[in-house]
Amino acid sequence: MRWIAKLERPLLVIGLLLLGIYVGARIHGYVLSQAEIERFKHQQLLVKELADGTVAVSKEPDFSLWSVKRIRGYEESLASHFSPAMALLCVPKIHLEVPVLDGTNELDLNRAVGHITGTSMPGEDGNIGIAGHRDGFFRGLKDVTTGDTIELATANETRTYVIDRIVIVDPNDVSVLARRSRPSLTLVTCYPFYFAGSAPQRYIIQATLTNSTANNLRASSHASF
């Protein structure tokens, strides 16, 4: 029975390893579940703020990538009155969460990002254009890639888009704002990101509505009570 005694230690080690893996997997699953619950609660609160017209465009953003000029512009904008945000834009990859104001004048873009006039409104199925400063809220867009997600929350719903195209165009090229084959979101900022002076090009990020979001929207529209 000596061979059985020799197996006892390896079997014990294997058993402990398997137990550790099981416990680790359960803890990991619990942590992810709790994080998703908190994320959902946070998103619901933001949607409620939009519905109430109280979403705070004065919440201090992360200035770590901002230029001195843009930080000063943001601080000066705090003394101005703004209409309630029409949506909230979230880019999880770069931890960006910023209100969307109705307009793209300098004051609007110092305080938040702006809906581009003439494009579809947040919550609609066309191509929604949103602009932001390259040395302010949209500086972090330099780090996103295709496949990353973008969330756009309105008072009625939150839509998730997946980035499928990143392109650099001339300032007069407005074709990127045209309606696409599927409901889309187009983010526009100046390029290059660290160019001194007036940037000569535009950095365009386009994303399409995810299938799961589209299916949920269709199911909601056909639901009867």
- Cβ atoms within 10 A of the Cβ of 43, count? 15
Burial code (b: 16+ CB inside 10 Å, e: under 16) for 7-34 equals eeeeeeeeeeeeeeeeeeeeeeeeeeee
Report the distance separating Cα 91 and Cα 152, nearest Å.
9
The tokens describing 106, both together, are 């300098």
Catalytic residues: 133, 190
Residues 91 and 141 sit within 8 Å (Cβ to Cβ): yes
Nearest to 207 by CA among 189, 184, 224, 182: 184
- DSSP β-ladder status, 184-191 and 96-101: unpaired
The phi, psi pair for 36, rounded to 5°, reads -70, -35
The phi, psi pair for 196, rounded to 5°, reads -85, 125
Return left, alpha or beta for 80; rule: phi > 0 is left, psi -120 to 50 is alpha, else beta: beta
Nearest to 154 by CA among 210, 209, 84: 84
